[in-house]
Amino acid sequence: SQKIEQNSEALNIQEGKTATLTCNYTNYSPAYLQWYRQDPGRGPVFLLLIRENEKEKRKERLKVTFDTTLKQSLFHITASQPADSATYLCALGTDSNYQLIWGAGTKLIIKP
């Protein structure tokens, strides 16, 4: 069955460093992959979308890569700040189906 894996343990990063989160998937051929940020008790907030024919996407301090051969996406936050602390979710979708498949999320903690 389709499966998405994100680091289940919290990721602790020192302020100013680059945080890298991983999203791996199996038994799926997504057309695109999305990353969201979620704060406690709130809905996810859309950050970036990358399509299967794109290797990399950037937005300010954020960078996403998408390797369809490795079936993996990496999400980078450069010059991390304590305000970046949150849970980050990845989600995959296809153009033939409006349903996204979601990872369970990785909790990121940026320490001052």
Site residues for other proteins per CB under 8 A: 4, 31-32, 34, 36, 41-47, 49, 89, 91, 93, 95, 97-105
Q: How far apart are CA 90 and CA 112, in angstroms?
A: 26
**In terms of CB distance, is 44 or 84 closer to other proteins?**
44
Say if CB 19 and CB 107 are below 8 A apart: no
CB of 15 to other proteins, least distance (A): 27
Beta-carbon contacts of residue 3 (< 8 Å; ≥ 6 apart):
25, 26, 27, 28
**In terms of CB distance, is 56 or 95 closer to other proteins?**
95
CB of 99 to other proteins, least distance (A): 5
CB of 80 to other proteins, least distance (A): 22
**In terms of CB distance, is 28 or 32 closer to other proteins?**
32
Which residue in the block uniquely carries the two structure tokens 């979308």? 49
Tokens of 80: 């991390």
